[in-house]
Structure 1
Amino acid sequence: MPLHPQVREHLDRLAAVNFAGLHTVTPELARAGARRLTAASAGERQDVAAVTDRTVGDGVPVRIYRPLGVPADDRALPVVVFFHGGGYVLGDLDSHDGLARALANGSGSVVVSVDYPLAPEHKFPVQVDTGFAATTWVAEHAAELGVDPARLAVAGDSAGGNLAAVVTLKARAAGAPRIRFQLLIYPDLDFRRTNYSITTFAGQYGNVAREAQEWFMEHYLADARDRLDPLVSPLLEPDLSGLPPAFVLTAEYDALRDEGEQYGERLAAAGVPVTVKRYDGMIHEFLRHPFDDAAVALVDATAALRAGLKPL
């Protein structure tokens, strides 16, 4: 399909601003620009029943969202640990506040959004270890949070989708926590950067250029050889059996499209129940924009969470 007209208008507005290439600026300047862009392009944020900022574990900041439409004393809600995108260099609790709210309300779950440390100040595997520790903390403190530890999911978009997938690998290896479902939103899963969509769409349709792809990876990794580590590139994990059921959401004009779809194919081949859905005419990060199809995709994603987290 051609680009959706709403997406085309959005990209035309971005082109008119003429942002400098990410690889030409410092992480601090990139973060400031990303914050301005989020403020200018985000739609209205949904009300939720309650929002609480706190720290967990060894001082990791999180933001906890309680959904609308559930009794205030319901202590058996499902819980979703959410990891924001931004290439491990950008993003924070505020950048993905709107998406976290929509996931909470749509799925009827408590959402715990994790503000993991960013690169280059913190290199791999700090983010992975933090994500796993936060997920473990949520499972172990379910009573305090008023959630059901048997109905735990992980979710994330882009780099956050990478982290969600990697946390499930670590949980499988450790035997805990028990993760019931994984929601991977246009996930970043293969740091080799060799497939069709990553090479063909680079620098087009709002995707970062090849130089910016390298900029993100060099900030995240201390050693280029880590690109082949399954905890960096989960698509390279040789055995995907025994992982939680998944919903993998991709976009037609997203540079990360192919690796998300390939991961879905490999999960299915390993016997993991998985749904992969591509949204035609859409681009990377489209769920964070007020596009009509973003609303459709959110309905699909939250319905998958509801189904994956239904009571046993």
Structure 2
Amino acid sequence: MPLDPQARALMDATEGLPPVETLSVQEVRARFLQAFGRRGEPESVLRVENRSIPGPDTEIPLRIYTPRNEPPLPILVFFHGGGGVVGNLETHDAVCRTLAKGAQCMVVSVDYRLAPEHKYPAGLNDCFSATRWVYENALSFDGDPQRIAVGGDSAGGSLAAAVALLARDRGGPELVYQLMFYPMTDYYLPGTPSYEENGSGYFLTTTAVKWFLDHYLPKEFDRDDPYLFPLRCRDLSGLPPALVMTAEYDPLRDEGERYAMRLREAGVWVHLQRIDGMMHGFTVLAGRLDKGKHALKDAAAHLRAAFLACPTIL
């Protein structure tokens, strides 16, 4: 179907801005925060708390969203998008509030280290450490260690998939669900049909993907590393059920959908949903895209159902 009119209006409003690949990292971070930072009154939840926890090399900032006072609540550990280079707790505050309220779960948003200051696997190590910390300390902040999910958008979706793989391969923690919005699951070369169709003109471009990966990846890296590119994993069995949402006009569409199919082939329960008329980033743009808003609500409903199907610690 054609690009959604609201999405087209947003694209037209950004026409003429310098391409990401022509800017410095600090300039892109500032643009990202301006585009996706808080606008207007945030959606209300019962409590929002900022914390710092011990990480593998330095402390990891977290933000914990609590929608209601009925412990123990299930927990979504959330990893923001931004190519592993940009993004923070503020850029995804609205997304986390919507998921917490809609799924009636706690959301623990992880402010992992970013490249190029901290290249792969620093961010992934932070995300996995934070997930383990949540499991080990859930009861201390009224969470349920038996009902923990992971999720994220774009690069954060890739991190969620990688954390699920690490949890399986390293003996826990046991996760009950994984939530991935338009994840990056493979290297951008040689590319897919969606790269050919949507690699320019739809917010995320092929050249921008290359810019992010050039900053994120170390000089020497393994393209078959399953924790870097989950689609390269040979064995996807034994992973938690998943929701994968993709966007019609997104260069990452095909690899996200292929990952969902690979999970199914491995015996993992998957709900795959393509959001027609949308481009990459529709969740962080939900305040300005009706389809993005509905997609977040749908995702929250799937997450809530998954938590309700799991036994609680009490």
Task: Name the TM-score class by shorter chain.
Answer: over 0.9
By how many angstroms is 1:43 displaced?
6.8
Indicate the residue corresponding to 1:197 in structure 2: 194
Structure 2: distance between partners of 1:158 and 1:43? 24
**Which 10-residue stretch deviates more, 226-235 or 4-13?**
226-235
Q: Where does the alignment leave 5 or more consecutive residues of structure 2 unmatched?
A: none
Match of 1:219 among 215, 219, 222: 215
What's the TM-score, normalizing by structure 1?
Answer: 0.94
Match of 1:141 among 137, 150, 172: 137
Cα pair distance change 1:263/1:242, threshold 3 Å: same
Indicate the residue corresponding to 1:174 in structure 2: 170
By how many angstroms is 1:258 displaced?
0.6
**Which AA in structure 1 matches 2:214?**
E
Give deviations 1:266-290, integer Å, cap 9, x for gaps.
Answer: 0000000000000100111111222
Indicate the residue corresponding to 1:113 in structure 2: 109
Task: Kindly report which structure 2 residues correspond to 1:1-312, keeping only aligned pairs within 5 A, or say none.
Answer: 1-15=1-15, 18-39=16-37, 45-58=42-55, 59-67=59-67, 70=68, 72=69, 74-193=70-189, 194-208=191-205, 210-223=206-219, 225-289=221-285, 290-310=288-308, 311-312=310-311
Deviating above 6 A after TM superposition, structure 1's stretches of 4 or more consecutive aligned residues are none
**Which AA in structure 2 matches 1:293?**
K
Structure 1: distance between partners of 2:103 and 2:174? 19
Task: Tell me if structure 2 keeps the 8 A contact 1:192–1:227.
Answer: no
Cα pair distance change 1:154/1:235, threshold 3 Å: same
3-state secondary structure, aligned to 1:3: coil
Q: Where does the alignment leave 5 or more consecutive residues of structure 1 unmatched?
A: none
Task: Tell me if structure 2 keeps the 8 A contact 1:77–1:110.
Answer: yes
Cα pair distance change 1:239/1:57, threshold 3 Å: same
Structure 2: distance between partners of 1:78 and 1:234? 26
By how many angstroms is 1:224 displaced?
5.1
Cα pair distance change 1:224/1:8, threshold 3 Å: farther
**Which AA in structure 2 matches 1:245?**
P
How large is the Cα RMSD of the aligned pairs? 1.4
What's the TM-score, normalizing by structure 2?
Answer: 0.94
* Count of aligned pairs: 304
